[in-house]
A = this chain, B = another copy of it.
Amino acid sequence: MSILERFSLNHATTKFWDQREAVEACAETGSGIGLWREPVHQMGLAETAKLVRDAGVPVTSLCRGGFFTDPTAEAIEDNRRAIDETAELGAPTLVLVSGPIPEGGTIDTAREGVAEALAALAPYAAERGVTLAIEPLHPMFASDRCVVTTLNEALDLAAPHPADAVGVVVDTYHIWWDPEVWNGIARAGAEGRIASFQLADWITPLPAGVLTGRGQLGDGCIDMRRYLEAVDATGFDGPIEVELFNDEIWARPGREVFDQTRSAFERVLT
């Protein structure tokens, strides 16, 4: 089996590429796709669901829910809608980015908010056959985007809930620096919590716009093959998404980026 059979395009890699064209390219190449809520809403949920179903393209995740460090009724309600959308798209997983430190709070109170939100959402997700995937983001985003920063922290947050309701995202870009990362991956696998596996590379120097400086696979310092081996060693054999937030990549034609990304994926993983 070629590693390319596990390739899934996270649509954010080709952020400005029409969703329909992206799905068609995935169908043609036997790839999966990770979708984002905004383009799905733009096309319409039912029409997107029909598009991927007719094309036979598996939706490997929906991005993203979360932003519930202040778990207001609106935040919970929006995440319930995101769970419904995930189910309607036939995707197994909703990716959760936890959100920032709320006004007047601290990172500790924000983390309590995340735990509270998960408790409110996990049963709803389980009923609909959706796994919530807590994504630890790189600590440089800890104040304004995601207070969850390590795999072990994500696993601790997931622990009170069944593994089919709450798992974690293993995204190389966000966790590669962590001295506990190999233990974290082994633990995530042993606990059955690897709900999504995503790749992006860390390039040096860090681009000025840190949000959109994720490197193409092979352009940075992350040993992708070692991550593949570590994740697979836990028994995981699911799809592998490539998710690159990168201004230069976004400026190029979607199909060109798609083909180049598949090539890079094959090259770094074999």
Contacts and interface: CB of A to CB of B under 8 A. Distances in A.
Interface of A: 100-101, 106-107, 111, 138-140, 142-144, 147, 149-150, 152-153, 156, 176-179, 202, 204-206, 208-210, 220-221, 223
A157 to B, nearest CB: 10
A150 B180 CA distance: 10
A100 B150 CA distance: 21
Contact of A179 (B111, B144, B205, B220): B111
Contacts of A205: 144
This chain: copies in complex: 2
A5 to B, nearest CB: 27
B138 A140 contact: yes
A221 B134 CA distance: 23
Chain A interface, DSSP helix/strand/loop, else mixed:
loop
A209 B207 CA distance: 9
A144 to B, nearest CB: 5
A230 to B, nearest CB: 12
19 contacts: A100-B204, A101-B221, A107-B176, A111-B179, A139-B177, A140-B140, A140-B210, A142-B176, A142-B177, A143-B206, A144-B205, A144-B206, A147-B177, A149-B177, A150-B179, A152-B179, A153-B179, A156-B179, A208-B208
